Structure 1
């Protein structure tokens, strides 16, 4: 019997959890705790790949936010590698402010848009 791949998306946003300081790609202590929990689910033999995608809110220029989202995705990937997730199974991508999930006109909306998504393939 062939086992079907199970895909999962894990979204970590700044809403309720501050992942990064303002204008920074450095993970906060809270983000490290969250990612340490997530990493335990990603170290099993069934893991095929994890794509780490960074997003920003609309504060700042498009080009700046693109770079910031890439640096944030890389920070998350580096932390996961340090936690034992195989580097060869991780890829990173930044999407800047191009894919908001909420209105950038409010603090709460911007917080939701400052996020990192982990696309997990098993």
Structure 2
């Protein structure tokens, strides 16, 4: 019984071993930080977003998710708007760099508690692929 199973499975295993694998899925996470109460990208942030744009251009089928966060101080409404403004500004830079807006999904997350230092909460995460 085992011999018949192995004899039937061997051709399938050999075929699978000969197939050329497709491109490896691209998955990366980049983090852009902001100053308090601001959605403006500084020089370092703009440079990082430009690098992400180049990776996204090299992988045109990879989706781009942009998650905006804020620090917990202030009203919930203000923080929700600020997290969305941060994410939209990053998306606008990607689009200006040639990334199709249809690939980009904006996910405002609003306020999050400090993890280690306050600036960690004032961020945008850019997820490419995955």
Q: Is the CA contact (8 Å cut-off) linking 2:65 and 2:105 kept in structure 1?
A: yes
Q: What do you get for the CA RMSD once the two structures are aligned?
A: 2.2
Deviations 1:85-115 (A, max 9, x none): 12111111110114x4615xxxxx2111111
TM-score with structure 1 setting the length: 0.77
Q: Which sections of structure 2, spanning at least 5 residues, go unmatched?
A: 1-19
Higher helix share: 2
The count of residues paired between Structure 1 and Structure 2 equals 111
Q: Which runs of 5+ in 1 are unaligned?
A: 15-19, 104-108
Larger Cα Rg: Structure 1 or Structure 2? Answer: 2
Would you identify which runs of 4 or more consecutive aligned residues in structure 1 move more than 4 Å? none
Q: 1:102-113 to 2 correspondence within 5 Å?
A: 102-103=115-116, 109-113=117-121
Partner residue, 1:49: 63
- CA displacement 1:53-92 (0-9 Å, x = unmatched): 1001112112211110001000000001111112111111
Alignment TM-score, normalising by the size of structure 2: 0.73
